[in-house]
Amino acid sequence: MGKRLITQRRGAGNPRFLSPSSRYLANIEYPKINYETLSVGQVIDLVHDAARSAPIMKVILDGNFSETLLIAPEGISVGRMLQFGRGANVAAGSVLPIETIPEGTEIYCIEIRKGDGGKLVRSSGTFAQVVSHDRILNLTEIRLPSKKTIHIKNGCLATVGRVAGGGRKDKLMAHAGQMFYAKKARGKLWPVVKGRAKNAVDHPHGGGRHPHVGRPTTVSRDTPAGRKVGHIAAKRTGKRKK
């Protein structure tokens, strides 16, 4: 008798397949303040968060003694003063409404909807660019790290600069243990053996004298759990023709 598939073993989740959220600092989002007026904050510490690749900075706003956690920009240091709101300087770490940021400026941690705390461009070393402003439609065009351009409604917040921690992928994984623990910190199972490399008793794609599937990889939606692998209920497969 063969093994159950990974999707079957995962089930509702267990420590092997769940993300260790108890080790994560917090949900990083912009503080709930009035961004129509200018506010000032000071960086008091830089910390690591197991939940993300970028370093985190602790900021105390003026008139507010509680700490705010934000994604750190490149070149930040402890003791630096940051500005928040309309009228802030266009400097690394400043948080402004996106319509007030000049064209060509590098930005990160961009809100998709006003007040969502920042959803786009949050990984280490990444940045987007402001392309243009449309004052009639109240939209701002930005270019994402993928070179795709999208339009964001005016009033959404963004941070000036690029995310700290760039060059993280330049250092190679020296041995398999480093990759194993890097994946484990995010609750990801590694390594994962390809189905076609297994025996026929262990996987529907296994078996044969050389690694090939040997049967269609598309399966229907109501396929039994032990065979439900590959392209599930696929409308189409293969390379899309231009």
Give the residue numbers spanning the domain of 73.
21-168
Query: What are the 10-residue block averages of pLDDT along the chain, 242 residues in total?
Result: 82 80 89 91 93 92 84 94 92 94 95 94 95 93 95 95 92 92 86 92 91 91 92 89 73
For residues 114 and 153, what is the distance between their CA atoms, to the nearest angstrom?
Answer: 8
pLDDT at res. 43? 94
- 127 shares its domain with 216: no
> Could you tell me if residue 173 is inside a domain?
no
pLDDT at res. 187? 82
> Could you tell me if residue 177 is inside a domain?
no
User: What count of other Cβ atoms lies within 10 Å of the Cβ of residue 86?
Assistant: 13
- 50 shares its domain with 157: yes
- 42 shares its domain with 159: yes
- 81 shares its domain with 193: no
Number of domains present in the structure of the chain: 2
pLDDT at res. 241? 79
- CATH number of domain containing 156: 2.30.30.30
- CATH number of domain containing 217: 4.10.950.10
> Could you tell me if residue 182 is inside a domain?
no
pLDDT at res. 1? 63
The amino acid present at 205, given as its one-letter code, is: H
pLDDT at res. 12? 73
pLDDT at res. 211? 86
> Could you tell me if residue 176 is inside a domain?
no
- 45 shares its domain with 115: yes
- 211 shares its domain with 235: yes
pLDDT at res. 242? 67
Cβ distance 138 to 114 under 8 Å?
A: no
- 66 shares its domain with 150: yes
- 26 shares its domain with 12: no
